[in-house]
Structure 1
Amino acid sequence: MDISTLAVFIPACFALNMAPGPNNLLSISNATRYGFVRACMGGAGRLLAFAIMIALAAVGLTAVLHTSEWLFHVIKIVGAAYLFYLAVQLWRTHPQDQGDMNAVSASMWSLARQEFLVAIGNPKAILLFTAFLPQFIDHASAVTHQFAVLGALFLALECIAISLYGYMGVHARRLFARPSGKRLFNRICAGLLAGAASVLLLSRRA
């Protein structure tokens, strides 16, 4: 893989990583509620989901999603339902429960599972890898190796995105320090998650 390909891939890929989708909204919300470290560790669930999607794209299994309207809709509805569930939970969160991050019972495992389910329940994210990564593949060379390199770069850049959104969440926590501010921030995030779920429900296969 030549340098010119990577020079185009890396900035384009990072733009996708930084797009304010459901998982990045979760990073902000989790950092606000549980702290920077837990939010970043929870992002491991998202990385696992994306690694699975990249592997599926590499072996061509995502072609099934392109041809199966039924499977696409099932994944879409389940993913949107989970986003609505998270939005309701966040809307109903009491600000007093967020006073001491050390007292929060949410484990890193539960946050990672949450990130994984949000990522894996978005069929558009799965199709993204089949539409985006192949554009940078040279079919005259070893395709599997190139998918591995590009996939590893994508995941590395995703780690940076997780950290940046978590950092934003920490600062948001300081801005909304009072209970009324925390309630407002939680409900803004809940509204954004519900909006993302609505967009997902309205999405169609490319």
Structure 2
Amino acid sequence: MDLAPLALFLPACFALNMAPGPNNLLSVSNATRYGYRTACLAGIGRLLAFSGMIALASAGLAVVLQTSALLFYAIKIVGAAYLLYLAIQLWRADPQMQDESVTAKVGIWALARQEFLVATGNPKAILVFTAFLPQFVVPGQPITPQFALLGALFLALEWIAISLYAYMGLHMRRWFAEPRGKRIFNRCCAGLLSAAAAMLLMARRA
């Protein structure tokens, strides 16, 4: 693949990775509650979801999502409902219980599953891969290797974004060390997740 498309792809892609969204907010929240390493490992769930979406886009199966209004809205409603569920859990979380959960062994795979479900509950993500990645494919060259390279770079940059948002959450953990501060932070995150759910419900197919 030529270097010129890659030079355009990398900064545009990283801006997309770093855009605030439900998954990045989840990384901040997980790092604040469970620590940096746990938040980063939980991000594996998101990477698995995005890998599947990239594969769907590469195979052209995302066209089904674009043409099926029923499927699009079904996924959208389920995804928004799950975000609202997470928001309620955060809003009602007891800061004292959080301290005990940190000392206990946290189920990383449960958090990874949470990341996976948040990512797959947003049908717009598949459409982003369908609309964004093909712009950087060079015509006249084999498409599959190019798509694989672009997808791998996207996932690598997404991992960096996960690490940066988790690092942000680690510092916010120090700011909200007291139970009252933790409660305020949890409720702010709950409000943002609720807003993300509302935006997802208002999303329309391209």
TM-score normalized by the length of structure 2:
0.98
Aligned to 2:173: 173
CA apart distance, 1:4: 1.1
Question: Which letter maps to 1:123?
Answer: P
- 2:33 and 2:102 in contact (8 A); partners too: no
CA apart distance, 1:135: 0.3
User: Identity of counterpart residues, as a percentage?
Assistant: 68
Question: Which letter maps to 1:3?
Answer: L
CA apart distance, 1:2: 1.1
CA apart distance, 1:138: 1.6
Q: Report the count of equivalent residues.
A: 206
CA apart distance, 1:102: 4.0
Instruction: Provide structure 1 residue ranges, at least 5 long, that are not aligned to the other structure.
Output: none
Aligned to 2:79: 79
Root mean square deviation, CA, Å: 0.9
Aligned to 1:92: 92
Question: Which letter maps to 2:78?
Answer: V
Say which SS state the counterpart of residue 155 (structure 1) adopts: helix
Aligned to 2:148: 148
Distance, in Å, in 1 between the alignment partners of 2:22 and 2:39 is: 14
Question: Which letter maps to 1:108?
Answer: I
Distance, in Å, in 1 between the alignment partners of 2:176 and 2:16 is: 28
Distance, in Å, in 2 between the alignment partners of 1:140 and 1:7 is: 19
- 1:32 and 1:172 in contact (8 A); partners too: yes
Distance, in Å, in 2 between the alignment partners of 1:38 and 1:99 is: 15
Aligned to 1:47: 47
Distance, in Å, in 2 between the alignment partners of 1:197 and 1:80 is: 4
Say which SS state the counterpart of residue 106 (structure 1) adopts: coil
C-alpha change, 1:105 and 1:77, in structure 2 (3 Å) is: farther
CA apart distance, 1:105: 4.7
Equivalent residue runs for 1:1-206 within 5 Å: 1-100=1-100, 102-206=102-206
Question: Which letter maps to 1:10?
Answer: L
- 1:43 and 1:115 in contact (8 A); partners too: yes
Distance, in Å, in 2 between the alignment partners of 1:74 and 1:113 is: 20
Question: Which letter maps to 2:150?
Answer: L
